[in-house]
Structure 1
């Protein structure tokens, strides 16, 4: 094994501490107490309402001081070696139980002579209570590892020199720069693929009831993703530079930072509560955190439900900003702003490079119904990959136009029903409408269930996500390639003449959750009113309302009664008719 390979595989077991000088070992309780006292002060400040961004930075700075002192105890002023913070620590974003990612840079000729000192250094850091993720590399090894692994280049992108040979550190930065490896285009493509894989791992939803605040869609990783791309392509040191570059408006930047700070507050409190690096908002923690954040039970809404609804609405906003920014980055990085000529779709819309956009910035002002039309066009033109970022922004800025007069407009009502009746793309259309806030604006009762959790073990999603997942499953019954999943359901669905009746029942079945009273009865009234306003016959409107009112009877019969009992079947059949 070469000296470099020996250094790469430094052990971190406490056994190495026995070889340390007595004076160094005696420093262990001193530093443990210093770190503990520093965290205690930060916890007090957190409870006093000090901004979490200040606390995260302060913890990083405290850690910097400790690492520099410990470095001098073990390594001194040795030439040809440097200590750098990487990853989240490199960004100066340390939470109470965050991993401490460090890179020890060495010159090949000094690796062997420093092996024992570096081994004792890493062991000492563990002994004083720092959970260190470390690597020991020379510049050539950094370049080689980064070339083969997008995770490594991402960590090095955020490297920050703490102490040691600055020239060595700068050589590493130059060797791993975008002119040497991982061009902006390659980096962006790899990171977007990584994000998609991560989202898929977490069910492609931010709205399961025990979310991971870091990894779920709309979580902290999505904000970090924006920062990584901005650093690699634009050499941006802060997210605010995206405003200067024209990618974000000032209100969008403030929304991004406000969302990040909200998630940071939750993560900071979660680490303190659990005493470990925990990013999952498990049921066991939600009630305690809700109380800590000052949420109290209301007549129809538990404090924990209010706390979680605020969380879900935050990640929905962040998810929307992430989508918009990645669209803008795609145009700037992959297409080099050469987005091709516009291809007319109709008077109000056109496509560019496979993405739908408004034909004029004033379309939504002049013709507000286009706020629904955009989703119908996406259904009828499957060749379109999505909505251009400028149009996502325009939708966000014009949602307020969906008011009572908009909802009373026959064109809007007809268009909404066309979306439900369209034989393709319904699931994607409704999910996008929810993500952009259009569905809640058009159906005010739906706004109440956006991000609303159901604090029980019978549901795994928020009410809005549960509703849209139900509609997706109903939709799958109509698609031939899914016939084998539930053959009976698919066969029955083929005999339903008006699927929109079933879709409307699904859309409204839980819409009155959290309003007090029987949500089935309240939802049935909402559903009947909506159907009548949208031109359904009296018979069809009453059928939708009946389905909503009786949906619990159906699930109770199917899931909790013996359906092999003829009496059970007879009773149910008499009710259904």
Structure 2
């Protein structure tokens, strides 16, 4: 793209010395001459790559120099091979006009940007088709290149072929756009170049831009459609190298520029923007080179397991609150963000140029529509712009105002004005941040009724957001090094604000029915939006981000103009924004103590409403698939019981009333089989009737009655449970020690993940266990053969027909990249969370059949599991068990608790997993 000076070229490859060596081999001749040539060239290739590897290790950010060095190395090899083939293999003393050959580098090789494992894209140009000498030389050259182990993409065309094919294929046109003369007949190359620009490019500029932008949009969609995905593709991802190359292609195609630097000369980029362009490009090229060297292949995806290695190679180090890999990825995303800003400004300028050209050439060429004025801003063609270059300098509060007006009026911001805002964002000082008018405008934008998400993203791209709210600037482009969060903190936050806006407008009523109703009942919608903005504001500070974030909220809310009550509410919401999800997903909601503890923290219906809404948008904004009907159901259940307790001051129904009501509801669901309730009700204790909803109770009673009638010792039933987004697996068997862990093992062997389990024992000694399971992608099992596979696996596990431990250990994790993370097992034994049970929570790396291993450890500790609740956060699993000893009592004794902790830590450890796999 730009000419890069390559220092000490002969240390990479000395073409003159190699040419003499090859001449010497040819002069000796012999049967093995070709093999000697290949060996000599291979040694030169390996030595050149080693030299470039050393240089990158010494200067790990020198991306431009590394890719130019690899292109230079291949150039010299191609030239050597060409000269050797023409001189020694197919010499022709008096070649005709048709026996000419030009070699072009195209694509990335044409730009002189080659990562260590990049393909070598070559175009051979010949004056005519099927010239025997040319075909022989081309074939011989390709065999040499292949023998060197290079991945070669090649074509052989005449100038006529080139023009015809380029006209019909934008990919070929783009490759030739970057065509670079390497060797051979230079006059032939110049003829082809002249014809390409005259016959292909001229008159097709608008079509090329449209096709490249459509291609870019399709690529973004394929790659996740965000530049903030936490495993980005350095080459093809949004904000990556391909986006920078697209700018260059468009600029070159329309304005015939030969390098990216010339984009400044034609006013498509400023000098400062060009420097940003080169800085971002150089960093990403360096990252790509490191990826290729680490993996030994053309790897462009910055996966979790590679991020740490690249961070180390590029000399990033830990800082308080941020690991080396988080600092590296934050820098990466800042570059990707800059690429996005450049792309937006650049393309808008191109669009304007085309529009001006259309206006000059059209029927109304002499007519100029007048811009209107909105609050002093110029509005034309759906875009708002600053009326003068010193507009923001005269009053820096306007840097906030323009975004507020754009959101309120549904306008885009002119590219030139975005450029101004970016340039002048440094005018936002403490005086502007504390200006009441600026804060009122910001709050109106944040809680805007139209599309605050998009406008806040523009504000962030222009650098205004982070300067006006410096705490937000600190989390700009900050990734969270885990497999749960899909986006950087700033992108997650802005997405959550957009989701809140969509819920308020009723656009997500199907997925969020309660939140859609409740958002119109809260007393302060401003508090709701500010809480979403601030809920993760303190991430990366080295402490509990919820506690630190509440302190930030207490400082910022008064500045934004919120009253004392609103400030207290926002600070509380930020402090406890994880409370509702932790309670719903990790605790037994049928245990009265769970509800009492939750209500004790929440204390008001207003807080409860806000907390449900914040929890919903926070989970959904984590990434695709993180919100599902299972989570909606659990959060809804917790909201309903907590709302009843807060509204009435007590639970509306005591234990006896709740059991009676559940039995009545079950009778109604059973219809003609209602008598089953009377026949078997005494078998099932009160705990069962409180824990199980009436639809599962009805199913269990029918299954239990059928098993008793048929005198079956084991009954297994599987069916899809749509309201929970899972598959229900009900197992009725003669109760015996270890039953739970064996059932769990069978379910895991069938390829299912357990997300919830309720374990009951009837008075006559029958186990009635209900499991909710999903596939590895978080979806229910639907197909009959899948359900039968689960039933068979459980049956085999309980009958001891299979060896559970070795078979489970060999099951691969659905996401093996979890090994890239350091997740130390942690066990918490809590005797305060329930009045009847000891609650044990185990946090560990997610792995095959973790629940089975933990359940077995509990069995070996002589504990009875009454319910289990399983939550996965990417690579980390959090499994919670409600247990008693064999006498139905809590585990209080210190030595006993310590023994349980030790057993569970061993079961959850990576070392134990490795031992099982080896066995």
TM-score by length of 1: 0.90
Q: Are the equivalent residues in 1 in contact too, given 2:436–2:559 (CA < 8 A)?
A: no
Pairs within 5 Å for 1:124-523? 124-177=144-197, 179-181=199-201, 183-336=204-357, 341-382=369-410, 384=411, 386-523=412-549
CA distance in 2, matches of 1:233, 1:353: 24
Structure 2 residue corresponding to 1:62, chosen from 64, 73, 81: 73
- What are the superposed Cα offsets for residues 511-559 of structure 1, whole Å, 9 maximum, x if unpaired? 1111122211111121132222222221111111111100121221233
Cα distance, 1:568–1:119 mapped onto 2, change above 3 Å: farther
Residue 15 of structure 1 corresponds to: none
Which range moved further: 544-553 or 116-125?
Answer: 116-125
Distance apart, 1:70 and its partner CA = 1.7
Which range moved further: 83-92 or 452-461?
Answer: 452-461
Residue 49 of structure 1 corresponds to: 59
Cα distance, 1:543–1:169 mapped onto 2, change above 3 Å: same
Distance apart, 1:117 and its partner CA = 4.6
CA distance in 2, matches of 1:57, 1:343: 48
CA distance in 2, matches of 1:338, 1:48: 54
- RMSD (Å), alpha carbons: 2.4
Q: Are the equivalent residues in 2 in contact too, given 1:103–1:135 (CA < 8 A)?
A: yes
CA distance in 1, matches of 2:490, 2:507: 27
Residue 743 of structure 2 corresponds to: none
The size of the alignment, in residue pairs, is 556
Q: State the SS of the aligned residue for 1:286.
A: helix
Q: State the SS of the aligned residue for 1:83.
A: strand
Which range moved further: 234-243 or 178-187?
Answer: 178-187
Distance apart, 1:570 and its partner CA = 4.0
CA distance in 2, matches of 1:187, 1:104: 24
CA distance in 2, matches of 1:279, 1:342: 48
- Does residue 32 of structure 1 match 2:53? no
Higher helix share: 1
In structure 1, the gaps of 5 or more residues are 1-20
Distance apart, 1:188 and its partner CA = 1.5
- What are the superposed Cα offsets for residues 182-214 of structure 1, whole Å, 9 maximum, x if unpaired? 622111222122222222222222111111112
Q: Are the equivalent residues in 2 in contact too, given 1:87–1:159 (CA < 8 A)?
A: yes
CA distance in 2, matches of 1:308, 1:390: 30
Q: State the SS of the aligned residue for 1:162.
A: strand
CA distance in 1, matches of 2:375, 2:358: 24
CA distance in 2, matches of 1:179, 1:331: 26
Q: Are the equivalent residues in 2 in contact too, given 1:348–1:370 (CA < 8 A)?
A: no
Distance apart, 1:426 and its partner CA = 1.0
- What are the superposed Cα offsets for residues 231-254 of structure 1, whole Å, 9 maximum, x if unpaired? 111111111112222232222222
Look at both structures and tell me which one has the larger radius of gyration over its CA atoms.
2
TM-score by length of 2: 0.58
CA distance in 2, matches of 1:494, 1:24: 81
Cα distance, 1:180–1:455 mapped onto 2, change above 3 Å: closer
CA distance in 2, matches of 1:120, 1:570: 81
Cα distance, 1:486–1:106 mapped onto 2, change above 3 Å: farther
Q: Are the equivalent residues in 2 in contact too, given 1:527–1:544 (CA < 8 A)?
A: yes
Structure 1 residue corresponding to 2:597, chosen from 552, 571, 576: 571
Which range moved further: 123-132 or 406-415?
Answer: 123-132
CA distance in 2, matches of 1:566, 1:22: 86
- What are the superposed Cα offsets for residues 161-190 of structure 1, whole Å, 9 maximum, x if unpaired? 222333443343344326545622111222
Distance apart, 1:444 and its partner CA = 0.8
Q: State the SS of the aligned residue for 2:155.
A: strand
Distance apart, 1:228 and its partner CA = 0.7
CA distance in 2, matches of 1:84, 1:130: 17
Q: State the SS of the aligned residue for 2:504.
A: coil
Q: State the SS of the aligned residue for 2:374.
A: coil
CA distance in 2, matches of 1:421, 1:481: 16
CA distance in 2, matches of 1:178, 1:496: 66
Which range moved further: 199-208 or 234-243?
Answer: 199-208
Cα distance, 1:178–1:567 mapped onto 2, change above 3 Å: farther
Residue 7 of structure 1 corresponds to: none
Q: Are the equivalent residues in 1 in contact too, given 2:378–2:386 (CA < 8 A)?
A: yes
CA distance in 2, matches of 1:535, 1:389: 31
Structure 1 residue corresponding to 2:33, chosen from 1, 23, 26: 23
Cα distance, 1:289–1:484 mapped onto 2, change above 3 Å: same
